[in-house]
Amino acid sequence: MTTNRLLQIGLLVLMMAFMAGCEYEFIKPAPTPPPPDPTDTIKFAQQVVPIWDANSCTNCHKPGGTPQLDLTAANAFSSLTSLAMYNVDNPPASRIYNFPYPETGDHSFKYATQAEAELILQWITQGAKNN
Ligand code: HEC
């Protein structure tokens, strides 16, 4: 094999490596959001906590508010835990789920949608983690 031939092969290998790099960078398909899955792990901070702001629960359930239960982002987990607002052994019996449940809840203030309540139930069913 001549030196020239070796150079040609070397150049070819370099070009292929370069093209492979381009392909990875430019032809990679855009990620599509996965469909919602009921077995997905519910994230407390990202998915559960925002529900209490969105429903104005935190207008009252805040530090120094009348009800003892504090649902603000900084305190929600410790407050729910110390006041036993969830029950991992019997999730539907959890007060944070059923007391403000749409239509049937006993609280004067309720979740706007059943989906919000069910998401909280799913979080409790998965062990009520501070995740
Ligand atoms: C206008 C003020 C106010 C708003 C808004 C409000 N609450 Fe309450 N909440 C209270 C008061 C006062 C109590 C305690 C008296 C009672 O049991 O009704 C309470 C009690 C509770 C309890 C039971 C606490 C316990 O110690 O047993 C839960 C759970 C609760 N609220 C959740 C919520 C959720 C979730 C929202 C939003 C959908 C909400 N609250 C909105 C004032 C409010």
Identify the band that residue 47 occupies on the pLDDT scale cut at 50, 70 and 90: very high
Is 30 within the bounds of a domain? no
Q: Distance of CA 22 to CAs 16, 17, 18, 25, Å? A: 10, 9, 6, 5
pTM attached to this predicted model: 0.78
Q: Give the chain's mean pLDDT.
A: 87
Ligand 1 centroid to Cα of residue 89, in Å, is: 23
Structural domain contains residue 48 = yes
In-domain check, residue 113: yes
Report the nearest-CA residue for atom 20 of ligand 1.
Answer: 67
Q: How many domains does the chain have?
A: 1
Report the distance separating Cα 15 and Cα 73, nearest Å. Answer: 53
With respect to residue 28, please indicate whether it lies within any of the assigned structural domains: no
* Inside any domain, residue 24: no
Question: Residue 32 falls within a domain, yes or no?
Answer: no
**Ligand 1 centroid to 90 CA: how many Å?**
21
31 CA from centroid of ligand 1 (Å): 40
Q: Is residue 33 assigned to a domain?
A: no
User: Which residues, judged by CB distance below 6 Å to any ligand atom, belong to the binding site of ligand 1?
Assistant: 52, 55-57, 59-61, 66-69, 83, 85, 95-96, 99-100, 107, 109-111
Question: Of 58, 99, 111, which is best to mutate to test ligand 1, by the most ligand atoms within 8 angstroms of its C-beta?
Answer: 99
The parent domain of residue 75 ranges over 44-125
pLDDT of 113 over the 50 cut: yes
Beta carbons of 123 and 63 less than 8 angstroms apart: no
